[in-house]
Structure 1
Amino acid sequence: MAKLLYITANPKSDVKLSKGMQIGEAFLEEFKKEQPDIEIEKMHLYEMEIPEIDMDLLYGRAKLSFMGYTFEQLTVEEQTKLKKMHALADRFIDADYYVFVTPLWNLGSPSILKAFLDNLFIVNKTFVNKEHGPEGLLTNRKAIHIQTRGGIYSTGPMVDFEFGDRFLRKALGFLGLEMMDTVVAEGMDHFPKQAAEIVAAAKGKAAAAAREMARAKMEVQ
């Protein structure tokens, strides 16, 4: 059975309060029409305990990668945090499709998303280093980003200041995932009277993207 991992980075727990999650739900509804048996796992990052790269994780990884330590020789703190990191990465690797729903805050995504992504960059697990450079191992997987923006970043003077979608696409592509075109709903703060119309249009784009993703021929992991 194929599995879809639905990841949201928004402190709002009520879908009614989040335009991004409303668009995300439209994506899921359409996807389920195409693949009724799809298993959907939801990760609300603000409700999770996500390991952050601190001194324990920094040195624990270094000891294992090039300092000659075995896992048993690490401190209890290093072992515990590395286990949590690998457990989170394993949950991610277990999926076939990925949907990220995030807002654009202060030119980038919420910091909790960066903390989450830091747990996925594990050499020989999600990528390998080869003579020609790093190579992602999470191939034969599709991902899409649904992003809401209060301002306008697709055209005009702010184009070069959007780092949320740009970073996420590069990070996931580095790991080997195939990225679909991002579904963007922007300008809600600039044009509040048009917010409902903007969200409705984004829901339509999300539904179309869901059909495309669900119909793509992929080998189930």
Structure 2
Amino acid sequence: MVKLLYVTANPKRPAVSKGMKIGEAFLETFIKEQPDTEITHMDLFNLDMPWMDADLISARGKMGGFGVKIDELPKHEKVKVKKMHALADEFISHDYFVFVSPLWNLSSPAVLKNFLDNLFISGKTFNYTATGPKGLLKNKKAIHIQTRGGVYTNTPMEQMESGDRYLKIALRFLGIEVMDSIVAEGLDAFPKMVPDIVAKAKQKAVLAAEEMARSTIQV
């Protein structure tokens, strides 16, 4: 049995979120290809996760720079670090990852960036080596489904988009193979075309899900 983690970063209900409708088309197709897949949904707007605050920065500095063990940290730091490690362990236990998020003000919602912050743990998800950092999350595959109000692809705005770009950089840093993103854009710029834009994105999602489900992952 393989495990798929479905990560959504949108405060809207699935019934009204265009991105999650596309995501559902992806999941439905994936399940048809791999019926025994175990799917876990993480709604980042309702997920209790640590935020990178003074306590976590202090704890990570002690652990990374001075070799302090988790159980040697002050209680208020230890609680947050253990919570961070538990979230990372949950993430690592999956084989496939589907991220669904909108583009807000040129980037992703803050909850998605914070979620990724919880995954960057030296010795767990990556290692420092003589030739630079090396990701440890091999034999895993991810894809990003992103909705955009404006049009960025092949326009002067393309270089300003930093949500999809950062997510792919972060996942690849951790060693995960990342597929081409599914992007539905122009949703605010062309409201009358929304049904067509979403329909075309769903078609791409179906094809991507078939490709991902048929790929070989060592479990």
Report what 2:36 is aligned to: 37
| CA 78–21 in structure 1, closer or farther in 2 if over 3 Å, else same | same
Cα deviations across residues 1-59 of structure 1 (Å, max 9, x unaligned)? 100000000011x2121000000000000000000000000000001112011111111
Report what 2:186 is aligned to: 187
Report what 1:149 is aligned to: 148
Report what 1:166 is aligned to: 165
Aligned positions of 1:56-135 closer than 5 A = 56-135=55-134
| Preserved CA contact (<8 Å) 2:8 2:42 | yes
| Preserved CA contact (<8 Å) 2:7 2:100 | yes
Cα RMSD (Å): 0.8
Which segment drifts farther, 178-187 or 66-75?
A: 66-75
Report what 1:3 is aligned to: 3
Cα distance in 1 between the residues matched to 2:41 and 2:67:
38
2:211 maps to 1:212 = yes
Q: What SS is found at the alignment partner of 1:89?
A: helix
The letter of the residue matching 2:57 is: L
Cα distance in 1 between the residues matched to 2:217 and 2:67:
39
Give, in angstroms, the shift of residue 211 of structure 1.
Answer: 0.1
Give, in angstroms, the shift of residue 68 of structure 1.
Answer: 3.8
Give, in angstroms, the shift of residue 72 of structure 1.
Answer: 2.8
Q: What SS is found at the alignment partner of 1:170?
A: helix
Q: What SS is found at the alignment partner of 1:16?
A: coil
| CA 70–16 in structure 1, closer or farther in 2 if over 3 Å, else same | closer
The TM-score with structure 1 as length reference comes to 0.97
Identity value in percent:
59
Number of aligned residues: 219
Q: What SS is found at the alignment partner of 2:113?
A: helix
The TM-score with structure 2 as length reference comes to 0.98
Cα deviations across residues 96-144 of structure 1 (Å, max 9, x unaligned)? 0000000000000001101000000000100001111000000110100
| Preserved CA contact (<8 Å) 2:70 2:81 | no
Q: What SS is found at the alignment partner of 1:40?
A: strand
Cα distance in 2 between the residues matched to 1:191 and 1:69:
54
Q: What SS is found at the alignment partner of 1:6?
A: strand
Cα deviations across residues 63-95 of structure 1 (Å, max 9, x unaligned)? 112224333321111100001000000010000
2:196 maps to 1:202 = no
| Preserved CA contact (<8 Å) 2:25 2:202 | yes
Q: What SS is found at the alignment partner of 1:114?
A: helix
Report what 1:24 is aligned to: 23
